[in-house]
Structure 1
Amino acid sequence: MAEIVIRNLRKEFGNFTAVKQSSFTIGDGEFFMLLGPSGCGKTTTLRMIAGLELPTSGEILIDGEDVSQKPASQRDIAMVFQMFALYPHMNVRKNISYPLVSQGLPKTQVRERVAEVARILDITDILDKPVSGLSGGDRQRVALGRAIVRRPKAFMMDEPLGALDAEFREHMAEELRALHDRMKATTVYVTHDQLEAMQMGDKIVVMNHGVVEQFGTPQEIYDHPATMFVADFIGSPAMNFLRFNGSFRGGDTGVILGGQQIETPQLQEEVSARDLVLGVRPEHIALTDSGLYRGRISATEYLGTTQIVTIDAAHGTLKARIPSGTVARVGETVGMSFLAPTLSVFDAGSGRAFRTSANQGVFHG
């Protein structure tokens, strides 16, 4: 397996720039997620790492070797696609063994490698079945087997679970992560599904309009979003945004919102009067009679153990995730308190988060 280093990667298609100066490192053995909405540049980035697209500029190093301008055949990687790309006229065994047969490996070695992969994926009992009659989950296992059997330096996966139904997709996500933990294989995985990325990834790159918005662990990205885009894209419901005009000095531990002091992590920058945004996750809002910041409940949504309460306030609409046993009536005015260490403060113009005592080790503003 191998470390993959991306330096100032850029890809242009005529006048359109799909990827803009991306830089990040994929550690040896990491399960690495490229996450973002459709058209953000994540698949183009994967294809450049794989050698299916050559970058306009920048460097791609795999296991210390610069492969930026080398074709896919010279990069020792394996691809797994959303639509499986199996050979319908072959059975499972022949599909998995095809890469090894193409390399001219001895038949004994081919049989041993196929049997080993079949045991890992628990598909020994279907090796002699035609792929045309298999379920979507079994076809995906066969596609994975064909990639694994090569023992490449890294695996590239382009939304491999996208064609599965929701229930089986979650099951296969668990299986993929368990498989990765057994094999310790460097894996680069593209998805638009933030829950999938949070569930499976060791590290996540969040992309938007060809730009890397943030790079870090799932917890870092959720707890300390570097931009408003990341804060809005990650989480369900998304982070709440309260817009206001204000200022603060380095060392301050709060902002003034609606005439009330709202406690925040210690702010590390000095900002003169400008449009700001206070970000708070729904689960970090408590409804309390003593809360000085107030709003009116406009809707409730029962979810079993919790409920989502929509509150209209002076600086925006908030969604609070509270225990289902808490009484919340539509039309009622309620006080709110926010969990100070979890709050983010953003510049409304640029969308970037200001440095605080909570996030300073996570990203650089």
Structure 2
Amino acid sequence: MAQIRIENLRKDFGTFNAVKSSTFTIEDGEFFMLLGPSGCGKTTTLRMMAGLELPSAGEIYIDGEEVGMKPASQRDIAFVFQMFALYPHMNVGKNISYPLRSQGMPKAQIKKKVHEIAEILGITDILNKPVGGLSGGDRQRVALGRAIVRDPKAFFMDEPLGALDAEFREHMSEELRALHDRMGATTVYVTHDQLEAMQMGDKIVVMNHGVVEQFGVPQDIYDWPATKFVAQFIGSPPMNFLNFKGVAGNGATSVMLGETQVQMPEILQGAKGNLSFGIRPEHIRLDDAAPFRGRVTATEYLGTTQIVLLDTPNGAIKARVASSDVVRVGSTTGLTFDPRTVTIFDDHSGKALLSQANQGVLAHG
């Protein structure tokens, strides 16, 4: 197992800059998520770490060794692709054992190792079956078995569950995380699914347009997004933004939304101009006595909770409230916000203002 360190990593394809000076560290044994929309640079970053692409600039360290210009074969890593990439003319056991046979390992040792891996993955009963007739889940287990059989320093996975249906994908994500915990392996996992990243990851890098927007543990990224992009990309529904124009100066503990003064954590690094008041749906409460008002335009029933859509003078927002709350479409209600959870964003830069609440996250993000 190994620590992986990325410093000022960049990748250009002609005049197109796919990855722009990324820097982060993956600690030994972490399950690390590279998260972002299609085209954000996450797969390109993974491929550079694996040696399938050479960086245009920057350094890649695996277990303390700089490997940026070394081929994949010299990095002692294993790569799991989205589409499995199994050998169709070989059965399950031969697919798993292929890396060991390529290394010239003795047959008895190979057999023992393959059976150990098959037991971990729960596929001992299909070792002699051809891979062509297997289900998507079993094919993915075989691909994982071929990767882990070598005991590499790190596992790199490029959306390995992307080809599975939603129900089985959730089941396999639980299995993958449990497998990681048993092996204590350093795992780097690419996904565009923020729920998958939040569920599985120890740490997450959120990327957009080749830039690392934020890096940290899932709860910090959810609670204290560094940018409006992260706030919108993480969460279902995402964070609300109420737009206002004015000043959120150093030391301020409230802002004016229209004619209503709304509390927030103390601002440590102020801004003025076009700003956004960020609040998660679950931190909004419906209160008829509150001065800040909104008109209910729709509701979405979700079982124990419901999402209430409202129009306000500062923009449309969503509130997550108990399904037992009586809410009538077309009615007007007051809204209160948990002041401890508010983030103010500068619309020009897209960045969160440093506050007393988020400084422990953003100062080190």
**TM-score, normalising length: structure 1:** 0.99
Aligned to 1:293: 292
CA deviation string 1:295-346 (max 9, x = no partner): 1001111111111110000010001110000011011000000011111100
Hey, what's the Cα distance between the residues in 1 that align with 2:40 and 2:270? 32
What residue number does 1:128 align with? 128
Q: Give distance in 2, aligned partners of 1:350 and 1:109.
A: 58
Structure 2 counterparts to residues 133-282 of structure 1, below 5 A? 133-271=133-271, 273-282=272-281
Alpha-carbon separation, structure 2, partners of 1:252 and 1:57? 42
Deviations 1:53-74 (A, max 9, x none): 0000000000000001000000
Is 1:306 paired with 2:305? yes
| In structure 2, C-alpha distance between the alignment counterparts of 1:328 and 1:180, rounded to whole Å | 45
RMSD of aligned C-alpha atoms? 0.8
Q: Which moved more, 1:248-257 or 1:308-317?
A: 248-257
Q: For residues 169-223 of structure 1, what are the alpha-carbon distances to aligned partners after superposition, in whole Å with 9 as ceiling and x for unaligned?
A: 0000000000011111000000000000000000000000000000001001000
Distance 1:120 1:342 in 2: 42
Query: Quick one: distance in 1 between partners of 2:124 and 2:279?
Result: 50
Distance 2:162 2:127 in 1: 24
SS at match of 1:362: helix
Q: CA deviation at 1:270?
A: 3.1
| Equivalent residue, structure 2, for 1:46 | 46
Moved more, 157-166 or 253-262: 253-262
Offset of 1:252 from its aligned partner?
A: 1.8
Equivalent in the alignment of 1:15: 15
Q: Which runs of 5+ in 1 are unaligned?
A: none
SS of residue in 2 equivalent to 1:32:
strand
Shift of 1:269: 1.6
Opposite residue 79 of structure 1, the aligned amino acid is F
Give the Å deviation of 1:251.
Answer: 2.0
Is the 2:297–2:330 contact (alpha carbons within 8 Å) kept by the matching residues of 1? yes
For the residue of structure 2 that corresponds to 1:361, the secondary structure is helix
- The corresponding residue for 1:324 is 323
Which residue of the partner structure matches residue 77 of structure 1?
77
In structure 2, the partner of 1:349 is 348
Greater alpha carbon shift after TM alignment, 44-53 vs 238-247: 238-247
SS of alignment partner, residue 9 of structure 2: strand
Amino acid corresponding to residue 154 of structure 2 in structure 1 = A
Instruction: Pick which of 259-268 and 185-194 moved more.
Output: 259-268
Deviations 1:96-142 (A, max 9, x none): 00000000011111111111101110111111111111110000000
Question: Matched residues in 1 for 2:248 and 2:125: separation?
Answer: 66
| Alignment map for 1:81-120 (pairs within 5 Å) | 81-120=81-120
Give the partner amino acid of 2:132. S
**Identity across the alignment (%):** 71
Contact conserved, 2:270 with 2:353, CA < 8 A, in 1?
A: no
Between 241-250 and 36-45, report the one with greater CA deviation: 241-250
Which amino acid is 2:281 matched to? P
Query: Structure 2: how far apart are the matches of 1:111 and 1:265?
Result: 61
The number of aligned residues is 364
Q: CA deviation at 1:260?
A: 1.4
Cα distance in 2, alignment partners of residues 95 and 248 from structure 1: 60
Secondary structure of the 1:279 match is strand
Give how far 1:255 is off. Answer: 1.1
- The one-letter code sitting in structure 1 at the alignment partner of 2:256 is I
TM-score by length of 2: 0.99
Query: 2:55 is matched with which residue?
Result: 55
Please give the secondary structure, in 1, of the residue aligned with 2:362.
coil
Counterpart CA distance in 1 for 2:248 and 2:40 is 34
Counterpart residue number, 1:335: 334
C-alpha displacement at 1:160, in angstroms?
Answer: 0.1
Tell me the distance in 2 between the aligned counterparts of 1:317 and 1:151: 51
Distance 1:71 1:290 in 2: 66
Query: How far apart, CA to CA, are the structure 2 residues paired with 1:252 and 1:191?
Result: 38
**Equivalents in 1 of 2:259, 2:269: separation in Å?**
22
Q: Which runs of 4+ in 1 moved over 4 A?
A: none
Deviations 1:43-95 (A, max 9, x none): 00000000000000000000000001000000000000010000111111000
Segments of structure 2 that go 5 or more residues without pairing to the other structure are none
